[in-house]
Amino acid sequence: MIDWHTALDDFLLDLVSLIAEQLELAKKDPSDQCAAVEVAIGAISVIKRRLREDEHETAIYMLYFSNLMFSTDWQDQWRKLAKQHPDEFSRQADNVLKIIEELKKSARGWWHPSL
């Protein structure tokens, strides 16, 4: 078992922030779409591993990111996104970014009142 050094809530917020940053970069430079998606897939894999520690937070993430993290084909869905035309990529990335922002707003209430 890994000896984690970061509190679960901070860790999860850092990784969803990383995903958001990568999507924003790829929106600006479509040649980064595949790289951004692979970073997101890697981050989600680690998020899911850490979520095993807390059923409550798992439920929250399932509500926000159901198909993006928890469907049987979630990785395929992300990889399809990487292959989209830049306009479609940007539109779908904006949807994911909205979900991330909503999660962060919600996190202000139960994790970090200072966010």
Q: Report whether 75 contacts 69 (CB < 8 A).
A: no
Residue 15 has pLDDT above 80, yes or no: yes
Give the separation between CA 110 and CA 56, rounded to whole angstroms: 11
The half-sphere exposure of 56 on its side-chain side, counting CA atoms within 13 A, is 5
More confident residue, 108 or 87: 87
Neighbours of 15 (CB within 10 A): 20
In this prediction, residue 19 carries a pLDDT of: 98
Q: What is the predicted pLDDT for the residue at 111?
A: 53
- pLDDT for position 109: 61
With 90 as the cut, is the pLDDT of residue 101 above it? yes
Is residue 76 within a helix (H) or strand (E), and if so which, with residue range? helix 74-82
**According to the model, what pLDDT value does residue 108 have?**
65
User: Does residue 102 have a pLDDT over 90?
Assistant: yes
Question: What mean pLDDT is predicted for residues 38-61?
Answer: 95
Please check the confidence at residue 115 and state whether its pLDDT lies above 60: no
Domain residue limits, the chain? 8-110
* Mean of pLDDT values over 47-75: 94
